[in-house]
Structure 1
Amino acid sequence: MRFKTPSYGEILNTYIAYGIVESLLRAGVEELILIPQGEEYTIEVNASEGTLLAGIADTLKEMLSLHYALGRYSPKEGGKVVSDADFSAGANINNVYWNGVPSALKEILGKIESGKRFSTRQNITAPLTLIPTAGKFLPKTYGVKGGNPIKMSELDYALAWIGFHYYAPYINVSDSNSTYIHIYLPKPLEPVELIEVLSLKDLKAQKSHYHLASNKPLTNLRVALLYHLTHTETLEALETITKKQFTLITYTLERVGNNQAVRSFGELDIAKLMDFLWNFKSANPYYAFRFVDALKDDLELTLEFIDGILHEDADAVYLAIRGLQRKNPKVVRPELVEAILRWFDEGQAFSHF
């Protein structure tokens, strides 16, 4: 049987596709192929719609159990349960969704368990977390014009949140007044099998939440990505992403006071960055962590370093390392420099180390 994603747009469709894959996995499916087709996807699998529904129910139970285990009653939200789960307060900047999403998912689960038929009407609004190009918050400078809010069917809504929860890394940097949520969505550009999709789960961070006062550099999307990938075990994901064609869709949800916006919308070459970090971390994992921890405190040096990697500009990386060495020479270890040299295959640029 073939499952096809609707025509919501590439970001929302990608979340739904991952949600279908995860739900089928939970229902016992061992083989499938996820096929990207423009902005849509087809999942080829030997399974019925009943199998998919059973998998959705199983997955929603786990997600909601997490929400209520982490949850707290919030007087500010009318005594509703709020948690740091990504489908509650973790990755939503609008507090309407902190309880709204879990409540909607709980209602959908109840319908599946009671055997009620689902309406095909698209009557649930997708939040910015799932589709940042909808609504008024995306500046025109990113080349994507914000449209009207997107309405979804109940099952598509559940599948999208399942896909986000299990396959989309995010970083939340916040305090009582401001919140920056960076979202990184790996998008396959060629057919991938189940085992290859599952390996992307390695990209989800064990720690996704940081306090703004002590982590201001992480408000930058690229700095946060470098920090995240360095501190996450990404072995299986690395193997998949470097062997298959993937792109990384990135965007930042920002709230300062009562003002909301979508920032830093774009795409990055995730394969190149992960290949570099694999070589870098293999040289000396402990000092690789210390190197990036020290580097992130200087925004200009960090961006020079990251852009040098993404554009294979050895001179830019060299200048960033020299700058870091002047500030913190202990973290610039010879074995790390040698690993960078080997990746670039450039001896001349690093001859001064």
Structure 2
Amino acid sequence: MKITVPLLSPYYSRVLNTHIMFGIVESAMRAGAREIRVTPAGDRYEIHSEKLNWKSLLIGLKDALEEMLMTHYATGSRSKIKVSTKTMYAHLSYTVFCKGAFFDPPGNIQRYPRELEVIYQELINLIKGPITDIPDSLKSSKSLLDKKTVEVTQQLDPTVNQWISFYEYKEGGPLSNFEYALAWVGLYYYSTVHKFKRGSSRIVEVIQYQPYEDVELWELLMIKDLATKIVREGDNPWKISQEYGLLKTLLKSQLPPSLEEVPGLSKFTILAYGQENQQGKGWRIFKTLELPLLWHFVSYLKIHSLHGTTKFIETLDKLEMESKNKDKKDRENVLREVGYQLYSSVTTGNENGFYNAFRLIRRLGYFIDPKFVEAVVNYILEGGYHD
């Protein structure tokens, strides 16, 4: 079976298509499909799986929604929120389709889980009978909740209404019930969501992993393992900067290093998008990050100097701890610069950044293992960033 994303519309943004694609992958895997291949085609995707059919896909989607909704109701609580001048109550949790994906929940925040819940109930009824195509009720963009139009949310697509105003939260054009549910599943299981303060700004940040060449199921599962299911608040390397956050995440990851025969994460690039309160309530794309080159660099270090890499991680951890001390707030700026210098060196091939980063750390009195430095030097000599 071949499925093309978008399913029911001539065009969606690549961000939304990626969430839908991951939702299909998760549903197919839960339905028992073990041979899945995803092929990017511009902003679109083709998903191939021989043993998949529409009924099994709907069964898998039902299973994923059930887990998401159970987590939402189990971990959430009835909370008071203020909308304009009115006070109302909603069941809020830190799942990505609720409070966790906002710094100020909009008035319709409770609609998202309710919308998914009625789609879940519809799936329970549909899978009792024969299914040879996407059922009409799921193809429709009329809500199963109240017949209103199902709209794309900015968490699923930051390009929605981006030219209207950064100072408003507006939802976008119509989306089918089927794609709406798939997109939330894709965001929930295959994206990383962060929520933190950076200086005086409050930020919600979504990290999406976009494949740019053919990937198999095991590679998609590595992304699922790398992604965070629940929004993380407080201590978080991503609040320092995107470059530092990505570097630290890969250094601490337990995923196997990248080899020529097993490229792992090297087929994906990263898109960071989100919401920053000093920029208004609208969502926007922050930046793209080069995952393949940085993953190859980190893999090289782990293969050639695992002990030195572990010691380097410990040094970064200590600097993060020190940055919480009011007298040592400059540590966060140092880490931000270290992240930028290392990321810049790996992605541009400018070796000076490595030495600048090490110099910054040494000035603070920290020792860098000679074996780790040797591994970095060998990486430069072997032209690792040109691979």
Structure 1 position 284, deviation (Å): 3.5
1:341 counterpart letter in structure 2: V
**Whole-Å Cα distance in 1 between the matches of residues 121 and 140 of structure 2?**
18
Residue 17 of structure 1 is matched in structure 2 by 21
2:298 aligns to what? 277
C-alpha displacement of 1:10 = 0.9
Residue 307 of structure 1 pairs with residue 338 of structure 2: no
Q: Of 315, 328, 334, which aligns to 1:291?
A: 315
Q: Does 1:125 align with 2:125?
A: no
Displacement after TM superposition at 1:49 (Å): 0.9
Q: For the residues of structure 2 that align with 1:286 and 1:250, how far apart are their CA atoms?
A: 27
Matched residue type, 2:77: R
Retained in 2: the 8 A contact 1:221–1:264?
Answer: no
On the 8 A contact 2:162/2:283 being kept in 1, the answer is no
* Preserved contact between residue 138 and residue 262 of structure 1 (Cα < 8 Å): no
Counterpart contact for 1:132–1:138, Cα < 8 Å: no
TM score, norm. by length of structure 1: 0.84
Residue 303 of structure 1: how far off its partner (Å)? 1.5
Shift of residue 216, structure 1, vs aligned partner: 8.9
| Cα 1:206–1:57 shift into 2, 3 Å | closer
Do the aligned partners of residues 271 and 202 (structure 1) sit closer, same or farther apart at CA in structure 2, a change above 3 Å counting? same
Amino acid at match of 2:379: W
Contact 2:38 2:215 in 1 (8 A): yes
Partners in 1 of 2:3 and 2:213 — Cα distance? 17
Mapped to 2, the partners of 1:64 and 1:170 lie a distance apart of: 18
Give the root-mean-square deviation of aligned CA atoms: 3.2
Q: Is the 8 A contact 2:268 2:291 kept in 1?
A: yes
Listed as ranges, the matches of 1:256-271 within 5 Å are 256=278, 259-262=280-283, 265-271=286-292
Question: Is residue 2:133 matched to residue 1:114?
Answer: no
**Between 15-24 and 302-311, the greater mean CA deviation after superposition:** 302-311
1:166 matched residue in structure 2: 189
Quick one: which amino acid aligns to residue 234 of structure 1? Answer: L
Matched, 1:28 2:52: no
SS in 2 for 1:162: helix
Q: Give the one of 71, 80, 98 matched to 2:90.
A: 80
1:68 to 66, 73, 76: 73
CA separation of 1:237/1:262 partners in 2, compared to 1, >3 Å: closer, same or farther? Answer: farther
Unaligned runs of 5+ in 1: 141-146, 348-353
1:208 to partner: Cα distance: 4.7
CA contact (8 A) 2:274 2:285 kept: yes
Secondary structure of the 1:183 match is strand
**Letter of the aligned partner of 2:119 in structure 1?**
I
Amino acid at match of 1:290: E
For the residues of structure 2 that align with 1:304 and 1:117, how far apart are their CA atoms?
A: 53
The number of aligned residues is 337
Higher Rg of the two aligned structures? 2
TM-score of the superposed pair, with normalisation by structure 2: 0.77
Gaps of 5+ in 2: 83-87, 127-134, 142-148, 321-330
1:255 to 271, 277, 301: 277
Q: Deviation of residue 74 (structure 1)?
A: 0.8
Per the alignment, residue 116 of structure 2 pairs with 105
Cα deviation, residue 235, structure 1: 2.4
Mapping 1:168-207, distance limit 5 Å: 168-174=191-197, 178-205=201-228
Residues 106-140 of structure 1: CA distance to partner in whole angstroms, max 9, x if unpaired? Answer: 11101111228515333322222211111137999
Give the Å deviation of 1:246.
2.4
Q: Please report how far the alpha carbon of residue 166 of structure 1 lies from its aligned counterpart in structure 2 after TM superposition.
A: 1.2
Counterpart for residue 4 of structure 1? 4
Q: Measure the CA separation in 2 of the matches of 1:190 and 1:337.
A: 33
Given that residues 203 and 237 in structure 1 are in contact (C-alpha distance below 8 angstroms), is that contact kept between their aligned partners in structure 2?
no
Cα gap change, 1:205 to 1:4, in 2 (>3 Å): same
Q: Match for residue 132 of structure 2?
A: none
Partner SS for 1:8: coil
Seq. identity, %: 27
Are the equivalent residues in 1 in contact too, given 2:197–2:203 (CA < 8 A)?
A: yes
Q: Does the CA contact (< 8 Å) of 2:258 and 2:265 recur in 1? A: no
Instruction: Determine if contact 2:22/2:185 at 8 Å carries over to the other structure.
Output: yes
Structure 1 residues 33-64: Cα deviation after superposition (integer angstroms, max 9, x where no partner): 21111111111223211111101000101111
- How does 1:334-353 map onto structure 2 within 5 Å? 334-345=370-381
Counterpart CA distance in 2 for 1:92 and 1:108 is 23
Q: What amino acid is aligned across from residue 271 of structure 1 in structure 2? A: P
Q: Distance in 2 between matches of 1:236 and 1:26?
A: 27
Q: Distance in 2 between matches of 1:63 and 1:240?
A: 32
Q: 2:90 aligned with 1:54, yes or no? A: no
